[in-house]
Amino acid sequence: MAAARDDLGAPVELAWRPRRVVSLVPSLTEVLAREVRDALAGVTDYCSHPEDLDLPRIGGSKYPKVAEVLAVEPDLVVANSEENRPEEVAALRESGVPVWVTEAPATVPAALRSIRRLLAEAFGRPEPEWLAEAERLWNREPPPVTATAIVPVWRKPWVVVGRETFAGDVLRRLGVANAYADHAERYPRPKLDELQGLLRDGVADLVVLPDEPYEFTADDGPEAFPGAESVLVNGRFLTWYGPSLLDAHAELSAALNR
């Protein structure tokens, strides 16, 4: 096969269609399990879908165990520019393993384009029906903005969704603006009193609390924003891109009452 290029433009030398693939990205694990399940040979500790995955676990997304990845003898590793560190990607490539790095998508359409390229160029797969349906679903005209939200993804310290993020675009397409959409950073770390001040001053009027990567719950999160409307949402629906996007639109719309 001729060398393909990943989302970052790096060449990916594949002698044949991959037959043993390690995924370092939970959302892409769900894609690969659906489209090329027989080729999936190893996943991270955080790859939770599909729930019946019974494959070698090679550590976390941010810190995969390179030796355990190599022990699986993959002919391709799938990674992401935001979820995985360049050090591990470089170590795998230096060991002779091709690595396809996807770019962290800033929008739903960008995420779907990235998946389409990966499936077509690395695996020779046609566009899946679920991808075309997700594209139609999420490319609808967004409703009018009815709320401006703070979207924490971690606490101790507080980390929120900032500019040009997939989660921010998902909410925008459901009529919810992001209070930090114009911040210089993709994931700012504001102090709690700053977040509370935005709510107090009416700059924001909603707090959206996903259950991953930090597991916010009814008893862990809303109490930090007394008097503000807080909504708990499924983090997978907010941040994963893949087949879950088909259910995410309806589920998040219902949770946000939009």
Res. 258: pLDDT tops 90: no
The average pLDDT across 82-105 equals 96
- Phi/psi of residue 4, nearest 5 degrees: -95, 175
pTM, two decimal places: 0.93
* pLDDT at site 253: 95
**Please, what CATH class does the domain formed by 4-136 belong to?**
alpha beta
Give 202's pLDDT tier (boundaries 50, 70, 90).
very high
- Cα separation, 37 vs 42, in Å, equals 11
Res. 92: pLDDT tops 90: yes
* pLDDT at site 127: 95
* pLDDT at site 188: 98
Where exactly are the structural domains of the chain?
4-136, 140-256
Q: Which residue intervals of 162-226 are DSSP H helices?
A: 166-172, 192-200
* pLDDT at site 2: 60
- Cα separation, 179 vs 201, in Å, equals 12
For residue 255, the one-letter residue type is: A
The C-alpha torsion from 10 through 87 and 99 to 132, rounded to 10°, is: -80
Give tens-digit pLDDT for 204-228.
999 999 999 999 999 999 999 999 9
Give tens-digit pLDDT for 100-132.
999 999 999 999 999 999 999 999 999 999 999
Q: Is 156 left (phi over 0), alpha (psi -120 to 50) or beta?
A: left
Res. 1: pLDDT tops 70: no
- 254, with CB counted inside 10 A (0-12, 13-18, 19+), is exposed
* pLDDT at site 28: 97
For residue 80, the one-letter residue type is: N
Chain mean pLDDT for the chain: 95
Fold of the 140-256 domain: Rossmann fold (3.40.50)
The average pLDDT across 3-27 equals 94
The secondary structure element, H or E, covering residue 153 is strand 152-154
* pLDDT at site 257: 83
Res. 3: pLDDT tops 90: no
